[in-house]
Amino acid sequence: MPGRVAGKVAFITGAARSQGRSHAIRLAQEGADIIAVDIAAPVESVTAYPGATEEDLAETVKQVEALDRRIVAHKADVRNPQALKEALDDGVAQLGKLDIVCANAGIYQVHPALELDDPGWQEMIDINLTGVWNTVKVALPHLVANQGGSIVLTGSVAGLKGLANSVHYNAAKHGVVGIMRVLAQELAPYMIRVNSVHPTTVNTPMIMSDAFMHAVRPDLENPTPQDMGEAFIGLNCLPIPWVEPIDISNAVLWLASDEARYVTGATLPVDAGAAVKA
Ligand SMILES: NC(=O)c1ccc[n+]([C@@H]2O[C@H](COP(=O)([O-])OP(=O)(O)OC[C@H]3O[C@@H](n4cnc5c(N)ncnc54)[C@H](O)[C@@H]3O)[C@@H](O)[C@H]2O)c1
């Protein structure tokens, strides 16, 4: 039985773990081959949680291959357009073409504005905003050559409304929406669709850290994930603390598939209603 993205090739950044790995597996389950990149190393300004590793990226490769799909994986930093280009060009050379782009790589760090230093601001913008642009830019020649495709940018509910204590993250994620809205117009003549997905908190290492639990629950000496979850429920309309990576992957899959063939320029929340919550 053909899958929903059978025969397509997807380029995914931040594919070593969490949402990026989940996107790779979900798209592979539905018949896509994968070009995966990840920095697979710590990032200087992120102190709250550990970076992904080369072993993580190797595990993504293993799980995609277990589905009998092909995957080309490279260690590459989205801040480095040349490294991204080389990784993607190699993937396209091996897999034949490019149909889908998932600009998913990103970082997060709680920083009240009064404590945010210049390097912290700059690294966030370089990865979460410029990194998204770099990803799209290196992919465009391949998508044009393919006479169409689907680009899915990973935003956040913090790209749709202001969430306190991470002005740099909010600025980058609002910027991602700007990239999406302009490219949806400019790339439409090439049958390239551009959309963004906007998760509420997702159950990944990005939020599941002691540092973040303390930031969210400063009232407790030793907060647990459950304590943090109680606070997060207040962010959402649906009474849940967070969503799982698969929830984002299912939205990405739909936007990447021909089921969404006339959907472009959309900000798709997967946020339990957080964006509309007063
Ligand atoms: N977890 C959440 O609560 C949440 C909520 C909304 C949006 N998001 C967004 O979802 C995306 C994925 O985050 P996640 O939750 O899977 O977190 P994660 O930290 O588990 O995964 C992020 C991946 O991106 C990679 N990465 C980071 N910087 C990179 C760089 N410079 N170059 C290449 N790869 C890099 C990391 O190595 C890691 O594998 C991010 O864009 C994040 O901002 C996350």
Q: Is 45 in the pocket of ligand 1 (CB under 6 A)?
A: no
How many Å lie between the centroid of ligand 1 and the Cα of residue 105? Answer: 5
pLDDT in the model for residue 113? 98
For residues 87-110, average pLDDT: 98
How many Å lie between the centroid of ligand 1 and the Cα of residue 127? Answer: 10
Among 79, 73, 70, 46, CA closest to 57: 73
CA-nearest residue for atom 44, ligand 1, is 202
Sheet holding 149-154, edge to edge: 71-75, 33-38, 9-13, 100-103, 149-154, 192-199, 267-270
pLDDT in the model for residue 2? 73
Q: What is the pLDDT of residues 168-217, one digit of tens each?
A: 999 999 999 999 999 999 999 999 999 999 999 999 999 999 999 999 99
Is 133 exposed, middle or buried (CB count within 10 Å of its CB: 0-12, 13-18, 19+)? Answer: middle
Tokens (6 digits) for 52: 């992904």
Instruction: Indicate if the pLDDT at residue 117 is higher than 90.
Output: yes
How many Å lie between the centroid of ligand 1 and the Cα of residue 206? Answer: 7
DSSP string computed for 90-122: HHHHHH----EEEE-------B-GGG--HHHHH
pLDDT in the model for residue 1? 60
Q: What is the pLDDT of residues 235-260, one digit of tens each?
A: 999 999 999 999 999 999 999 999 99
For residues 264-271, average pLDDT: 98
Q: What is the pLDDT of residues 59-82, one digit of tens each?
A: 999 999 999 999 999 999 999 999
Dihedral angle at the C-alpha atoms of 179, 185, 186, 187, nearest 10 degrees? Answer: 90
Catalytic annotation, pick one of 108, 169, 190, 262: 169
Q: Is 228 in the pocket of ligand 1 (CB under 6 A)?
A: no
For the chain, the C-alpha Rg in angstroms (whole number) is 18
For residues 43-59, average pLDDT: 97
Q: Is 75 in the pocket of ligand 1 (CB under 6 A)?
A: no
Among 2, 19, 16, 7, CA closest to 155: 19
Among 53, 125, 179, 204, the mutation site with the greatest number of ligand 1 atoms within 8 A of its Cβ is 204
Scanning the chain, the segments in alpha helix (DSSP H) are: 18-29, 54-65, 81-95, 118-125, 131-145, 167-187, 210-216, 225-233, 245-256
Query: CB neighbours of 26 closer than 8 A, spacing ≥ 6?
Result: 246, 249, 250, 252, 253
How many Å lie between the centroid of ligand 1 and the Cα of residue 157? Answer: 14
CA-nearest residue for atom 27, ligand 1, is 106
Q: Is 107 in the pocket of ligand 1 (CB under 6 A)?
A: yes
169 is catalytic: yes
Share of the chain above pLDDT 70, in %: 100
pLDDT in the model for residue 233? 96
CA-nearest residue for atom 23, ligand 1, is 14
Q: Which residue has the tokens 């080309």?
A: 72
What ligand 1 atom has the least distance to the C-alpha of 77? Answer: 32
Among 215, 276, 207, 211, CA closest to 244: 207
Among 18, 180, 244, the mutation site with the greatest number of ligand 1 atoms within 8 A of its Cβ is 18
The whole-angstrom separation of Cα 207 and Cα 225 is 9
How many Å lie between the centroid of ligand 1 and the Cα of residue 2? Answer: 30
CA-nearest residue for atom 18, ligand 1, is 206
CA dihedral sign of residues 115, 118, 119, 122:
positive
Q: What is the pLDDT of residues 127-168, one digit of tens each?
A: 999 999 999 999 999 999 999 999 999 999 999 999 999 999
Tokens (6 digits) for 83: 């490294």
CA-nearest residue for atom 40, ligand 1, is 106
